[in-house]
Structure 1
Amino acid sequence: MNQKQNDIGAAVRQVLGDSLAYLYPAAMRTAVTLGIADQLADGPKTADELAAKSGASADHLRRTLRFLATRGMFHEEEDGTFGLTVSAGLLKSDSPLPMASIVNLLTDELYWLPAGKLDDTVRNGTTAFPDIFGAPLFDYLAERPERGEVFHTALDELSATEHGGIVTTYPFPESCTVADIGGGKGGLLREVLTKNPTVNGILFDHESVVADHGLDTPDLKGRWEIEAGSFFEKVPTADVYLLKRILHDWNDADCVRILRSCRDSMAEGGKVVVVDTVVPSGNDPHPSKLSDLAMMIVFDGKERSEAELEALFAEADLKLARVIPTSGSVSIVEAIAA
């Protein structure tokens, strides 16, 4: 067999494998739903043992875990038992970096069903989410608090995996006021205030979100405020505006409205600090190129290149000052008054 035939054979296997790649998140969701990682916390077990505890079919569970093991999610031992890997350990309920809720969200029908309509999204240039669920995502969640809780809890836990890299990378000015815009329950702001004892903070988000904030701790007493509202209308005055994974949820016009709100309220010498993935050029894999499709199908948002962010800033009377990579997949993009 010549090299060309080898290349064609490899390409066929890739196309077939990629066509069925949706089975991997389905299998991950199954493992999370059945609590398999927690059951393996004290050591490897057989599929029969795991099935007896989870109420599953032993044969079907064994085949699902065997498949997950091919991707490093669980490990099949020579004696037929299954054990935890580092990745599978993140799915335990007591993991210091809890990923189970994130897997549950990202494999939920909120993402799954719009992904099946990606062809419609590409044709029409807008998400199919409202057609499927009857309303845009945030309106849908506002009308269903229990679903909103699943969404915001998962995003808070995802965000928690990134806080340390952000706070240790960005030099917050001393004695400044930091407003975390769309800051959810305040996990990032809490980390900022903890690591910067001269900084004060404002947590800004919808009332239903900030009502369950986590800033009320003795070590932060007197250094934070809560404000509720819409970042499309008006935000509180601050020296530094944090926009962590906010702009990527929105189209360009809405992003300019958010940035303009910050620019209009910004204290003299203030900064807007956007924390998002920045899309690099070239064909190499990058987390931003994957999450960009998620933004497309659910939010009508997008991940942006440095040049695209610079253009948004310019429309809001801001200018890009610098881009600072972090240890994770996000970068810190700082803008100042133009």
Structure 2
Amino acid sequence: MTDTEPADRPIGAWNDPAGLPPALRPLWIMTQKYAAQAIYVLAKLSVADLLAPGPRTADELAGQVGADPRALYRILRCAASVGVFAELPDRRFTLTPEAEGLRSGRPGTFRDLIVLHGEDITWRQYGDIMHSVRTGRPAFEKVFGKPIFDYLADHPEQEALFNRAAEQVAGPVTDGYLQAYDFGRFRRVADIGGGTGYFLGRLLQENPDGSGLLVDRPSAVEESTKVFADLGVASRARAVPGDFFDTVPAGYDAYILKSILHDWPDDRARRILRTVRRAIGDDGDARLLVLDSVLAGGNAPDHGKLLDVHMLVTFGGRERTLEEWWRLIRDGGFEPAAEPVLGTWPVLECRPNPEALP
């Protein structure tokens, strides 16, 4: 037992936070970072891929990944204790259903997203989280010297990882939104900041009479050609590089902002909204669709409340309650057009406010 372990805790209680005294549960939460980084290491080293043919020992794996066998064993043992991999009686390790998510090149994998969560660009700024709390500014900028999107633009390898991670989470998120809302009402759709185009491509798959435009950074636009071709919508989808703080093309029935506005503080988010408002002009039938999390009220558990801290520390953005969303949207030149689709996949449908012409 170390000096930091409570001497009077019941044997085994530390493995079950519900059985701990309430005052100890925050400490249990803090210690989960050890498991998180162990899983990151194993994802980064592609250990799940090496175990796909069958169980192996840490010694056997260490030779292939360039690791110290004893250290790798300890990392594997930690991950196995939370269900990611399993240790067999002969000290070999095997895959579990949870570990399947760390495999490469498979449908449903989250390997790149897990690696991203353990990399410096996601982790190191938390060592200076107090800067964000005291100033309201992202600690990322203090630690890395520039905003995250500028940093990614200057580091293509990290930007590629960021884009791959976004693609891996795009599948279930896209399926959720396409089931929650009828996008087929709109024949011409513009996806503003839509990454490499997966969401737009899947939307067009579901709506064969529609066409779409993707607007994003040049690197994302370049990759969208393959995405649209793979999804079979290349003849109905096109992509152009653009800056949603400056201008977006006019003439579309619906403009989608999916997981965009939460990246930015209110003043920058308002500027994005006003850019779209200018593109719509006096077309009162056009719609803005905001696809972003809506925070639950009170003390209700909500993953968005965890993500909101990451927005503060890394991006400088924020998650918002429904009241905060409507206030921001009205300031951006729009007003509610329908009762919002809430739940896991919120869609806020907005119409241009004719009194807020740009």
Task: Please indicate, yes or no, whether the TM-score normalized by the shorter chain is above 0.5.
Answer: yes
Q: Which residue of 2 aligns with 1:337?
A: 352
**Which of 246, 249, 268 in structure 2 is aligned with 1:254?**
268
**Mapped contact 1:111–1:297 kept (Cα < 8 A):** no
Show the 5 A alignment for 1:189-208: 189-208=200-219
Q: Which residue of 2 aligns with 1:275?
A: 291
Check if 1:21 corresponds to 2:35: no
Show the 5 A alignment for 1:202-217: 202-213=213-224, 214-217=227-230
Show the 5 A alignment for 1:35-50: 35-50=46-61
Q: Which residue of 1 aligns with 2:232?
A: 219
Distance 1:17 1:94, change over 3 A: same
Deviations 1:131-175 (A, max 9, x none): 211211111222222322222222222223311111222101346
Check if 1:229 corresponds to 2:242: yes
Q: CA RMSD in A?
A: 2.2
Pick which of 139-148 and 227-236 moved more. 139-148
In 1, Cα distance between equivalents of 2:260 and 2:315: 11
Shift of 1:30: 0.7
**Mapped contact 2:186–2:253 kept (Cα < 8 A):** no
**Structure 2 residue matching 1:302: 3-state secondary structure:** coil
Amino acid at match of 1:289: K
Shift of 1:12: 4.7
**Mapped contact 1:175–1:198 kept (Cα < 8 A):** no
Show the 5 A alignment for 1:152-163: 152-163=163-174
Check if 1:80 corresponds to 2:97: no
Pick which of 151-160 and 94-103 moved more. 151-160
Q: Which residue of 2 aligns with 1:292?
A: 308
Shift of 1:288: 0.5
**Mapped contact 2:270–2:332 kept (Cα < 8 A):** yes
- List gaps (5 residues or longer) in structure 1: none
Amino acid at match of 2:133: V
Q: Which residue of 1 aligns with 2:253?
A: 239
The sequence identity of aligned pairs, in percent, is: 34
**Mapped contact 1:322–1:335 kept (Cα < 8 A):** no
Shift of 1:112: 0.9
**Structure 2 residue matching 1:118: 3-state secondary structure:** helix
Shift of 1:323: 2.6
Distance 1:217 1:79, change over 3 A: closer
**Which of 123, 131, 135 in structure 1 is aligned with 2:134?**
123
Distance 1:219 1:15, change over 3 A: closer
In 1, Cα distance between equivalents of 2:58 and 2:273: 52
**Structure 1 residue matching 2:229: 3-state secondary structure:** coil
Q: Give the TM-score, by structure 1 length.
A: 0.91
